[in-house]
């Protein structure tokens, strides 16, 4: 039985999602600037305005905040201010097209083991591919760097790398790999592209992965049929994983990620080719999971988070999704696994690359064009 599907009218230039991600360095702010949004009662306090193409962010137990730049840098913040410091010893990345240094996440037991995980576009000869590595820190120095996964095969395409990382309650690591323009091959199990993968935290393959014992199949595959999932979040309360992915011209999707499922790309889609021609006649097919939510035209969904903080009245349990193309944060309300409603927060704040909740319960967003770090302040403190 298919899930209910929802349509959102909007305007979008089709080239936004095809073109490489862009961002412009802005002058440093001399003081906090607050932008009002009347619908939600949220204000955005601008903390930093000199990013180029920020991608991921996380907080260390010692209070430092780390933000990745697609160029390969990891910037260090403390008390909501850039310290002027960057991590050293970061692995080489291919910063080209949509590739570069992407997500950064802490191990759930980071306070005990110190592990930090990154996803990045790894150069392989004249090609590149999505890779996962982990490391520890000594001050700002990367130590004990170890590669855990390299998507096969490496390709010359500079688009659709994915790639977000989440951990579940059992410390399994899930991460997304974009289809790199391969389209039909995302249904095939002999390659890693257009898939969400599952590994142990040290890179080993779990024996209960859906294809781990199938000859010729890539054993880390968890789900197939994805285009370019750039947002993913784990809901510990319900033991569910949610992901958002870019469609072509229309057809962005919010999906509930479930073991062994096929999410249809490119044989099913609510979008079209960028020139407006028919991509597929199929919006549904037997054996294909339908999106819980889809957007036509595309909003450009990217980083996402689940609100667990009590600081934002009425938001707890909602998904916040960065919209690159439509330059806002989409607040999506769910009832279990069903879509209920959506609100646009901070319209025109910038191309929202990621949203995340700090250890003290505040929500932060990083944007490009302008490249800034903002803190969402609720109406009542």
| 3 state SS of 187 | helix
How many other β-carbons are positioned within 10 Å of the β-carbon of residue 125?
7
Q: How far apart are CA 126 and CA 141, in angstroms?
A: 29
Positions annotated as catalytic residues are 160
Contact 186, 176 (CB under 8 A): no
DSSP code, position 185: G
Q: List b or e across 188-227, with b for residues whose CB sees 16 or more CB atoms inside 10 angstroms.
A: ebebbbbbbbbbebeeebeeebbbeeeeebbbbbbbbbbb
The Cα-based distances of 115 to 171, 204, 293, 295 in angstroms read 12, 16, 34, 36
Specify the length of the chain in residues: 381
Q: How far apart are CA 10 and CA 328, in angstroms?
A: 13
Q: How many CA atoms lie within 13 A of 93 on its CB side?
A: 28
Q: How far apart are CA 298 and CA 271, in angstroms?
A: 8
């Amino acid at each position: 039985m298919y899930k209910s599907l929802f349509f959102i009218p909007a305007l979008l230039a089709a080239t936004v999602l095809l073109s490489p991600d862009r961002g412009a360095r802005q002058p440093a702010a001399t003081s906090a600037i607050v932008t009002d949004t009347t619908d939600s009662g949220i204000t955005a306090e601008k903390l930093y305005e000199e990013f180029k193409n920020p991608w991921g962010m996380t907080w260390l137990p010692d209070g430092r905040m780390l933000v990745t730049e697609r160029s390969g840098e990891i910037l260090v913040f403390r008390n909501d201010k850039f310290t002027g410091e960057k991590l050293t010893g970061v692995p080489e990345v291919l910063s080209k097209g949509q590739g570069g240094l992407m997500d950064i996440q802490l191990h759930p037991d980071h306070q005990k083991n110190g592990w930090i995980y990154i996803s990045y576009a790894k150069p392989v000869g004249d090609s590149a591919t999505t890779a996962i590595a982990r490391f520890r820190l000594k001050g700002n120095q990367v130590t004990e760097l170890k590669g855990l996964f390299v998507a096969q095969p490496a390709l010359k395409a500079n688009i659709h790398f994915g790639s977000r990382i989440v951990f579940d309650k059992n410390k399994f690591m899930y991460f997304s790999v974009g289809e790199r323009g391969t389209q039909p091959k995302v249904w095939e199990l002999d390659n890693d592209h257009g898939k969400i993968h599952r590994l142990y935290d040290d890179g080993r393959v779990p024996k209960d992965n859906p294809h781990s014992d199938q000859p010729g199949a890539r054993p880390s595959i968890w789900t197939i049929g994805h285009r370019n999932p750039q947002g993913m979040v784990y809901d510990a309360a319900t033991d569910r994983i949610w992901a958002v992915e870019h469609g072509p011209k229309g057809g962005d999707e919010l999906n509930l990620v479930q073991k062994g499922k096929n999410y249809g790309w490119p044989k099913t889609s609510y979008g079209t080719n960028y020139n407006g021609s028919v991509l597929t006649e199929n919006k549904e097919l037997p054996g294909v999971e339908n999106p819980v939510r889809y957007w036509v035209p595309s909003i450009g969904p990217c980083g996402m988070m689940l609100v667990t903080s009590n600081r934002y009245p009425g938001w707890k349990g909602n998904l916040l999704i960065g919209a690159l193309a439509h330059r806002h944060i989409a607040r999506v309300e769910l009832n279990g696994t069903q879509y209920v409603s959506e609100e646009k927060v901070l319209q025109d704040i910038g191309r929202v690359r990621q949203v995340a909740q700090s250890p003290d319960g505040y929500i932060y967003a990083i944007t490009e064009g302008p490249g800034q770090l903002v803190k969402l302040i609720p109406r009542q403190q």
